[in-house]
Amino acid sequence: MNTLAPKLNKISKIIKIHNEELIDNYSWIKQKDWKEVILDPKKLNAEVKKYLDEENLFKENQLQDIKNIENKLFHELKSRIKNEDNSVPKRDGNYFYAYKYNKDSEYPIYYRKNITNNYEQIILDCEKKSKMHAYFNVGSLSHSHNHKYVAYNIDTNGSEYFSAYIEDIESKEILSSEIKNTTGNIIWSLDNNYIFYVGLDQNHRPTKVFKHKIGTHVGNDLLIYEEKDPSFFCSISLSKTKEYLFIRTADHETSEYLFINLKINETMPTLFKKREKKLSTI
């Protein structure tokens, strides 16, 4: 058993602040391209990765003698959790939509049940899709108003930059190319030809609302709204009547809503706190 903790190389760097000199031996660890590392962990500095791997191994070695207790506690806690679960079905038109977990599965299976014939159909099998990735997380799922398509966001590396996909429910065909760097918000247009989504900027801020036409390239997506105040973040939602698309922008103290009438395809901003803003027509 290795009893010596791994050590990271020290490279002294002097930082001057208010005529004071500070010595930082580990500033080199933060890579200049750290934002790219979040998106692609393979770009992590090889020496830093080696240290992290050694540190994890050291931890495993040090805790080896309590492994049995660890496993016992894990199984005891797990036994108290229901390993098969269903959500409460939500009706939309002639369908009930819900999700369920198979026994001992960590990933949901989204399905719907036809009210007229009680036919159950899987619309997104996350358990199956997760097997193709080391990490898998679903941000959101939204079906079209005509019940033909489903749009969903997934994160496959833990960066919380979600990619949006659009599928035909019956054929499982992917209808649009991958839409990268999104949040979990997806709203369908009333004619089922478009989705609205929120894009993340290079600092992981949800700042832009886009309109994407199904089957077209993401490069042609229309920018509907952009939040340029760095302290504000935006999100979207659909009214209960499905008539309005709401754009919420807020910081920790102030919020405002802008809304678009999807039936007449025009923009109508309404503000709780007046700021200089513009919405483009769609």
Q: Minimum mean pLDDT among 49-53, 228-232, 262-266: which range?
A: 262-266
First to last CA, the chain: 65
Quote the pLDDT of residue 94: 95
Q: Which fold has domain 135-282?
A: Methylamine Dehydrogenase; Chain H (2.130.10)
Residue with tokens 């997380």: 137
Instruction: Quote the pTM value.
Output: 0.76
Domain boundaries along the sequence of the chain = 13-79, 82-132, 135-282
- Give pLDDT tens digits for 26-74: 999 989 888 888 888 889 999 999 999 999 999 999 999 999 999 999 8
- Give pLDDT tens digits for 69-116: 999 998 898 888 777 778 899 999 999 999 999 888 889 999 999 999
